[in-house]
Amino acid sequence: MKKKDPIEEARRYVQNANDVLKENTTVDPETGLYEDPKYVRAAGNYLWLGALLALDAVFQVRKDRRTRVHIDDYLEAVSKRDRKLLGWVDSGYMVIHLYMNYDGIRDKKVCSQGFCLANQIIDRCAVLMPKAA
């Protein structure tokens, strides 16, 4: 079985997050808030998982798929290689994982920033990813 490209798989997660929001909830034009935080949480989960897929493809932080990796492990690995990516991962953790995924923040501007950060992380990982021989 052919192994999937982790960057393309990460981008698919971002597309899934976008689809979840578009198909299941709307934005109140007066407040700029999504109406249902449940779907914001689902989208945040997809975005963060996509970002982690891309990070795992570049940085071998996760030694075993059965072990949990703390955000500090990712930040330490990224800080040794790319300072710009470090800022995006740190901000992405806050916006995508905590605000969107855990808190279900309904603000469309915050969610848009989460999508932007996820795409920046994935795009940067695509550039840093070692080329297959």
The pLDDT score that the predictor gives to residue 60 is 85
Cα–Cα distance between 34 and 37 in angstroms, integer?
Answer: 7
May I ask the CATH class of domain 6-128?
Answer: mainly alpha
Domain regions of the chain by residue span: 6-128
**Higher pLDDT, residue 131 or 89:** 89
Cα–Cα distance between 77 and 1 in angstroms, integer?
Answer: 30
Residue 47 has pLDDT above 80, yes or no: yes
pTM of the model: 0.91
Cα–Cα distance between 125 and 14 in angstroms, integer?
Answer: 14
Residue 10 has pLDDT above 60, yes or no: yes
Average pLDDT over residues 41-54: 97
Alpha carbons within 13 A on the beta-carbon side of 132: 5
pLDDT in tens, 59-70: 988 777 777 889
